[in-house]
């Protein structure tokens, strides 16, 4: 049996904790070492984990490793997806790109900028809504700041329709196919952009994890 507590990157083996033959006993110091190394591979040598982000990273780790005790403590439902919210440049997309690697056996999700969904709709029409309402897992990046879609002269709140489709998929599938997203907007702004019906569905689709409003722009 392979040891699920070990991950190999660039011929270097990283440990995430100890495997007792049935389950992994995760060690967050070891997870941090792995995430730092994987981050440098993905984003370059300038990548680092910031001390002020450790609470957010711990919550995301609890979610991805399905730590039931800590998920319950922080009101995180492992059956739902993640909506990671915070100011521009605080590292939301980076973390959602990075954290999906800590459990290699988990079903991966594609990270799709919402503006790309709109561009696709403008070209292909409602086939785009069908394509992103399928059984794959997605993380929609920069939710809520995308423009309206337009196809043959008709405007559509495309991401609103996609989210409704993803909600139907979520409640109908036995596997609870997940949807993730990142956003710069708060709950009121999302409701203003998508309407009450979509906002209501989002509550059932997502665990909301927020960066502090004072989180700095790491791209500077």
Strand partners, 111: 139
Spatial distance between the Cα atoms of 154 and 139, rounded to a whole number of angstroms: 26
> Percent of the chain beyond pLDDT 90?
74
Q: Tell me: the pLDDT tens digits for 162-210?
A: 999 999 999 987 778 899 999 999 999 999 999 999 999 999 999 999 9
pLDDT, residue 73, reads 95
Q: What is the pLDDT of residues 99-131, one digit of tens each?
A: 999 987 777 899 999 999 999 999 999 999 999
144-165 tens-digit pLDDT: 999 999 999 899 999 999 999 9
Q: Which domains does the chain have, with CATH numbers?
A: 73-210 (3.40.50.300)
Give 102's contacts (C-beta < 8 A, 6+ positions apart).
7, 16, 31, 34, 35, 61, 64, 65
Q: Is the pTM of this model over 0.85?
A: yes
């Amino acid at each position: 049996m392979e040891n699920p507590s070990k991950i190999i990157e660039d011929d270097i083996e990283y440990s995430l904790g100890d495997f007792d033959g049935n389950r992994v006993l995760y060690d967050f110091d070891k997870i941090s070492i792995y995430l730092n190394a994987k981050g440098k591979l993905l984003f370059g040598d300038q990548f680092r984990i910031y001390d002020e982000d450790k609470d957010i990273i711990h919550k995301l780790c609890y979610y991805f490793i399905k730590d039931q005790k800590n998920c319950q403590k922080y009101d995180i439902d492992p059956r739902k997806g993640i909506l990671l919210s915070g100011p521009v440049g605080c590292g939301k997309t980076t973390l959602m790109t990075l954290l999906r690697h800590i459990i290699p056996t988990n079903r991966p999700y594609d990270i799709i900028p919402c503006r790309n969904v709109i561009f696709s709709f403008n070209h292909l029409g409602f086939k785009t809504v069908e394509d992103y309402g399928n059984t794959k897992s997605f993380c929609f990046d920069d939710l809520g700041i995308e423009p309206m879609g337009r196809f043959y002269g008709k405007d559509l709140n495309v991401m609103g329709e996609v989210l409704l489709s993803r909600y139907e998929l979520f409640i109908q599938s036995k596997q609870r196919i997940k949807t993730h997203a990142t956003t710069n907007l708060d709950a009121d702004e999302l409701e203003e952009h998508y309407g009450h019906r979509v906002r209501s569905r989002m509550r059932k689709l997502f665990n909301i994890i927020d960066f502090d409003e004072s989180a700095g722009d790491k791209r500077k």
